[in-house]
A and B are shown apart, each in its own frame.
Chain A
Amino acid sequence: MDRRATFWMLYLPPLLWLGAFFLIPLILMFAFSFRPDMRGDFFQLWQPSLNQYTKLIATGSYWRLLGVSSLMALAISVSAVVLSFPIAYFLAFHGRQRVGFYLVLLLVPFWTSYLLRVMAWKIMLGTEGVINSFLIYINLIQEPLTALLYNRNAVVLTLVYVWIPFATLPILAALQRIDLSLFEAAADLGARPLHQFLRITLPLSLPGVFAAFFMVFIPTVGEYVTPLLVGGSRGSMYGNIIQDFFTKAANWPFGSAMSMVMLAGTLILVAIATRLINLKDLLE
């Protein structure tokens, strides 16, 4: 079999899959965002209209919420990366033969459903929850704290927890690629451990760090399940509003327009970030 045949045999299934279940829905959503309303047959031709975008532009609160959601995603991804770095560092340099075992430990929570793990945070943070009961038990507070759950902080806290194990993996992969002889050479030349970290470990781990950052940031901007469960009345993110237009408003055209704006916004942010960071240089 020639190389070309092998290439297509390997690439065709995923290409078809992505085409059918990612690209076509995305194109449909794009087309839908130019539909004046939900009326009429689903696959009829419609007069393209900028109705949805005009309405969206005129509604300041949606733009503000997109900004807030991006800032939350930024806080969550930075926190997740900072907190997962030491874990990855430990696994890469001190895990030795037990690395596999530790990795399994890290991923054990993922054997349960995502919803269950988020619900567990409700039990942690609730007024009769673990944290409040403990604080009352040690007499630090008399009345349960109500500020723990049903707000944006609870959303950030929960999402950071959810993402830490995922963020660890690309950082670990980058750290494991570092040639250990570099450290010996640095030590021979008199570099102290902190110096070695700053000059060798950190720079060489950056591709993994940025990969982890984007892996958390991009899906978090559009997050909607966690805010729904622990965010309360003031914890909605942009993704919740999109979801509402699809499931509570039967207004797919407007929901599609909101999704397109978010997609464009995220792409622009990522483009600016990659330009600033210059990933290519890092990788070389």
Chain B
Amino acid sequence: MNPKKPLHNLLTGMFVTLALILSACGGGQADVPPGELTGTLSVLEWAGYDAEDFWVDFKNTYPNVTVGFEIGISDADIYAKMAAGNQADVFHPYSGWLQFYVDEGLVEEIDTSKLANWDKVSDSHKKLGQINGKQYFIPWDIGFTSVLYRTDKIPEGVDSWAALLDPKYAGHISMWDDGPGAVTISSYIHGYDETAITAEQLASIQEEWIAQRDSNLFYWAGEPELQEGMRSGDVWAAYAWQGSYALLLGEGVPVAYANPKEGRNSWVGFYGIRKGSENLDLAMKFLDAKLAEATGNNVVNLFYYGHSNQDVMKSVTDPTLIEAFGLNDPDILEKTNFTPNLTAEQRDAWTAMWAEVKAAP
């Protein structure tokens, strides 16, 4: 007889009991009123969006669910963390950085029939969260990228992305510290197909940005850094998101947001659910609440970004925000280029190109 048998039986018994208890809890969860629902949800988020304002609908509906935030500092950082086995239930990638999550099986397909607020999202935005025809991501925050400039320092105005590479503004330009961003700008300027950059094109883009360093004061990593540079007058022209434009405009800094002839760039932030998340139900509730109005209004009013809930955008009345979002310009979306999804090869090549720009003598 195996002397270990009794222990084995005991353990099996314990597991069975535990499993029964857990399944009982799980089964009962559907009937629990929202106010009494408990649990823990973990979110891999960008700094700032962890503030309660940006998930206020969830907080109010499910006050007893604990939401824990871990901060990612860039799309690359969030992707690398998820690839490394981060256990966050929900994560927040942006345009361009979606494809690999699907390719590597890191993201759960979303059953949008369970999202009460899904109807309020426009079809064009829904589509941006689809990969291989399936809805893996929920669009959430929306914005533009363009050239932000000081109207007192550049009275002639800016009508092209090429201003960011113009030696005329030497020492007063600030580019975002980002390789794919640089490739995008060069593609707009030279009319390259951004989805099919050749090795030669990439090499000439690299040369172009190495030369640009002589005009560039600093690469900004966080928006406050850029905003301070614009405020003080050290920076005259910069790669910027419209949140910075709205903020500075509101402060009375003489700034304008260019409508480059090549078109503005447009991006969307998405939420995805980690494949295999044990909190799928809570994560879905979290995503649905993210699309709700109070949360959306806070995105618009506190961070000056657009929100995917169309009701939220229709209710914007602040003239500064209307100007910043281009809500008064019916053609604004046609003048806009959406960031295409990067492949893993493009990601590696473009980021390496940027590292070489920064390391160049």
User: Is the Cβ of A249 less than 8 Å from the Cβ of B179?
Assistant: yes
State which residues 119-148 of A face B: CB under 8 Å. Answer: 126-128, 146
- Point out the residues of chain B lying under 8 angstroms from A39, CB to CB: 104, 344
Q: Is A162 interfacial (CB-CB < 8 Å)? A: no
User: Is the Cβ of B179 less than 8 Å from the Cβ of A128?
Assistant: no
User: Is the Cβ of B361 less than 8 Å from the Cβ of A64?
Assistant: yes
Q: Is A153 interfacial (CB-CB < 8 Å)? A: no
Output the residue of A38, A40, A254 with the most chain B CB within 10 A: A38
User: Is the Cβ of B344 less than 8 Å from the Cβ of A240?
Assistant: no
Contact of A248 among B74, B356, B360 (CB under 8 A): B74
Selecting from B2-10, B77-85, B246-254, B333-341, the interface stretch reads B77-85
Q: Is B69 interfacial (CB-CB < 8 Å)? A: no
What separation, in Å, do the CA atoms of A176 and B85 have in the docked complex? 52
- Point out the residues of chain A lying under 8 angstroms from B175, CB to CB: 233
- Point out the residues of chain B lying under 8 angstroms from A231, CB to CB: 218
Contact of A61 among B79, B178, B359 (CB under 8 A): B359
- Point out the residues of chain A lying under 8 angstroms from B234, CB to CB: 126-127
User: Is the Cβ of A244 less than 8 Å from the Cβ of B358?
Assistant: yes
User: Is the Cβ of B221 less than 8 Å from the Cβ of A251?
Assistant: no
Q: Is B347 interfacial (CB-CB < 8 Å)? A: yes
User: Is the Cβ of A62 less than 8 Å from the Cβ of B73?
Assistant: no
Contact of A234 among B74, B84, B213 (CB under 8 A): B213
Contact of B359 among A65, A126, A127, A232 (CB under 8 A): A65
- A56 to chain B minimum Cβ distance, whole angstroms, is 11
Q: Is B34 interfacial (CB-CB < 8 Å)? A: no
Contact of A241 among B221, B348, B355 (CB under 8 A): B355
In chain A, what residue has the closest Cβ to B81?
Answer: A250
Q: Is B167 interfacial (CB-CB < 8 Å)? A: no
What separation, in Å, do the CA atoms of A146 and B232 have in the docked complex? 13
User: Is the Cβ of B171 less than 8 Å from the Cβ of A146?
Assistant: yes
- Point out the residues of chain B lying under 8 angstroms from A41, CB to CB: 85
User: Is the Cβ of A37 less than 8 Å from the Cβ of B179?
Assistant: no
User: Is the Cβ of A250 less than 8 Å from the Cβ of B80?
Assistant: yes
User: Is the Cβ of B355 less than 8 Å from the Cβ of A249?
Assistant: yes
What separation, in Å, do the CA atoms of A234 and B354 have in the docked complex? 13
Q: Is B310 interfacial (CB-CB < 8 Å)? A: no
- Given known contacts A127-B234, A248-B74, is B348 in contact with A240 (CB within 8 Å)? no
User: Is the Cβ of B83 less than 8 Å from the Cβ of A247?
Assistant: no
What separation, in Å, do the CA atoms of A39 and B344 have in the docked complex? 8
Contact of B83 among A42, A228, A241 (CB under 8 A): A42
User: Is the Cβ of B354 less than 8 Å from the Cβ of A244?
Assistant: yes
Q: Is A53 interfacial (CB-CB < 8 Å)? A: no
- Given known contacts A37-B348, A150-B218, A249-B347, is B74 in contact with A241 (CB within 8 Å)? no
Q: Is A236 interfacial (CB-CB < 8 Å)? A: yes
Q: Is B219 interfacial (CB-CB < 8 Å)? A: yes
* Cβ contacts B157-181/A at 8 Å (1 or 0 each): 0000000000000010001011100
Output the residue of B76, B104, B361 with the most chain A CB within 10 A: B76
User: Is the Cβ of B76 less than 8 Å from the Cβ of A250?
Assistant: yes
What separation, in Å, do the CA atoms of A241 and B213 have in the docked complex? 16
User: Is the Cβ of B80 less than 8 Å from the Cβ of A38?
Assistant: yes
Contact of A244 among B84, B232, B355, B360 (CB under 8 A): B355
- B297 to chain A minimum Cβ distance, whole angstroms, is 32
- Point out the residues of chain B lying under 8 angstroms from A65, CB to CB: 359
- Point out the residues of chain B lying under 8 angstroms from A249, CB to CB: 76, 179, 347-348, 351-352, 354-355
Q: Is A245 interfacial (CB-CB < 8 Å)? A: yes
Contact of B213 among A42, A146, A233, A252 (CB under 8 A): A233
What separation, in Å, do the CA atoms of A35 and B222 have in the docked complex? 31
- B83 to chain A minimum Cβ distance, whole angstroms, is 6
- B344 to chain A minimum Cβ distance, whole angstroms, is 6
Q: Is A278 interfacial (CB-CB < 8 Å)? A: no
Which A residues are within 8 Å of any B CB, using their own CB?
A: 37-43, 55, 59, 61-62, 64-65, 126-128, 146, 150, 228, 231-234, 236, 238, 240-241, 244-252, 254
Which B residues are within 8 Å of any A CB, using their own CB?
A: 73-74, 76-77, 79-80, 83-85, 104, 171, 175, 177-179, 213, 216-219, 221, 232-234, 344, 347-348, 351-352, 354-356, 358-361
14 A-B residue pairs with Cβ-Cβ distance under 8 Å, sorted by A, are A55-B352, A61-B361, A65-B359, A126-B234, A146-B171, A232-B216, A232-B217, A232-B218, A233-B216, A241-B359, A244-B351, A247-B76, A250-B83, A251-B351
4 new A-B contacts, CB < 8 A, other than A228-B221, A232-B218, are: A40-B104, A41-B85, A61-B359, A245-B355
